[in-house]
Amino acid sequence: MTDYRRLRVALLGAGAVGSHVADLLLRHGDELADRAGARLELAGIAVRDVDAPRDVELPRELYTTDVEPLITGADIVIELMGGIEPARSHILLGLGSGADVVTANKALLATHGPEVFEAADRVGASVYYEAAAAGAIPIIRPLRDSLAGDRVVRIMGIVNGTTNYILDRMDSEGADFADVLADAQRLGYAEADPTADVEGYDAAQKAAILASLAFHTTVPLDAVHREGITGITADMIEEARDAGLVIKLLAVCERLREDDGESISVRVYPALVPREHPLASVHGANNAVFVEAEAAGSLMFYGAGAGGVQTASAVLGDVVSAARRHMAGGTGVGESTRANLPIVSIGHVVTRYQITLEVADQQGVLATIALLLSQGGVSIATLVQTPLTPANGRRGTARLIIGTHRAADSALSAAVDRLTASDVVEQVVSVLRVEGE
């Protein structure tokens, strides 16, 4: 066994991910040393309660509540506590005392990323966060390094496993949102309070991180347009299927080119995706990130988006990278945000809408609706009209599924407002954007 230099690793947090990270560090010590060129010595695990039950059994003497000396004595700090504080202060303390930092904390990076990266730059340290964006899927290095010589045009990501699990089961079983959510909670795929997942907050944090990397631009979380999936019904999914589409919660990061220069859009919403698109075959709680770049063309990265041991793999990859950098010497490579492209609001985004209406089944309705749409510069691409029989609706009404041509979201949204206000429209049943065509 080679006699490697020892690097002291401080682990903050022993939850689902942290306990697996500690376990793998201990069990695969020799192998990791060979790969890193240094022995990764787990100096301690900072926890709130030393006696709390854990997912994985670890030597009791590793646990400590005395977090500051653990951090300041470490070469590498792994932050897996989550949340903003005290995670932020701990990371800054680690960087300030010369450690490299590995974190999976998407909430922190999406809100305090620039502060953390600047602190690292000041001391020439590095921050690694492969686990923050799509669990075990290697997406950070591909975007930051492999595509660094290319220009990313668009990212479409299924980056939240809970919502993909729910939508996929709704799609395969014809089930309702509430029923599948309840079942997902029972099975542990969704949390007791599912808000962060189903309202798209988690996906929005990841979208901010991915867009920052892809477009070399600081993307504040509040610049990410966000819509959740709570309004998605079994009917909408069935209608999508009939049209050869599937509903996915997408994080879309897009480079826009207008006459006055480039800008970007970052948005999270449920969208209709053609069934033949690679993202349509991402089932269950899996994640996938579809990247379109000017030179590389279309790429897709697929895998487990969550899970303790899966995410631990991404964290450990970062730990080995940090150790190799320590041994190689030199400063860390900072984040590049020099492009600093303007971020446009959702109104500027150009997409297609699919609008489902219930309308009065009478002469002239189509002309009225076409007029209402065209007044705002929205034109109809496809139209399917189904008279509603008494069995599935009120007599005298018809269902109208309108696919629009591409238009600015502000125009589409205003057109939907006009439809809602119109006398001939009984109900705007659903409005969904179409992506990936």
Contacts with its own copies, residue ranges (CB under 8 A):
2, 20, 24, 28, 31-32, 34-37, 130, 136-138, 141-142, 145-151, 216, 278, 281, 293-304, 307, 309-310, 312-321, 324-325, 328-333, 336, 338-339
Would you say 287 or 404 has its CB closer to its own copies? 287
The smaller minimum CB distance to its own copies, of residues 157 and 270, is found at 157
Q: Which is nearer to its own copies, 227 or 301 (CB)?
A: 301
Q: Which is nearer to its own copies, 32 or 223 (CB)?
A: 32
Reading the block at residue 145, the tokens are: 């390094």
Strand segments (E) across 193-274: 225-226, 245-258, 261-274
Q: Where are the alpha helices (DSSP H) in 174-200?
A: 177-187, 195-198
| Phi-psi region at 301: left, alpha or beta (left = phi > 0; alpha = psi -120 to 50) | beta
Write out the two tokens for 392.
Answer: 């599935």
Residues 235, 175: Cα–Cα separation, whole Å: 9
Q: How far is the CB of 181 from its own copies (least distance, A)?
A: 24
Nearer to its own copies, 20 or 226 (CB): 20
Closer CB to its own copies, residue 12 or residue 152? 152
Question: Minimum distance between the CB of residue 130 and its own copies, rounded to whole angstroms?
Answer: 6
Q: Which residues on neighbouring strands pair with residue 289, listed in sequence order?
A: 157, 301
Q: Whole-angstrom Cα distance, residue 296 to residue 290?
A: 12
Please name which of 254, 256, 264, 317 lies closest in space to residue 290, comparing C-alpha atoms. 254
Least spacing, CB of residue 284 vs its own copies, in Å = 11
Least Å distance between CB 341 and its own copies? 11
Do the bridges between strand 127-128 and strand 152-158 make them parallel or antiparallel, or are there none, so unpaired? Answer: unpaired
Provide the 3-class DSSP secondary structure of residue 9: strand
* Count of Cβ atoms closer than 10 Å to residue 28 Cβ: 14
What 3-state DSSP class applies to 202?
A: helix
Nearer to its own copies, 302 or 413 (CB): 302
**Catalytic position from the list 90, 112, 154, 206:** 206
Shortest approach of its own copies to residue 25 CB, angstroms?
8
**CB burial string 363-394: b at 16+ within 10 A, e below:** eebbebbeebbeebebeeeeeeeeebeeeebe
User: Rounded to 5 degrees, what are φ and ψ at 112?
Assistant: -120, 20
* Residue 17 CB, nearest approach to its own copies (Å): 11
Provide the minimum distance between the beta carbon of 420 and its own copies in the complex, in angstroms, as a whole number. Answer: 40
**Residue 248 annotated as catalytic:** no
Contact yes or no for 165/184 (Cβ under 8 A): yes
E strand or H helix at 141, and its extent?
helix 140-141
DSSP 11-27: EE--SHHHHHHHHHHHH
Catalytic residues: 206
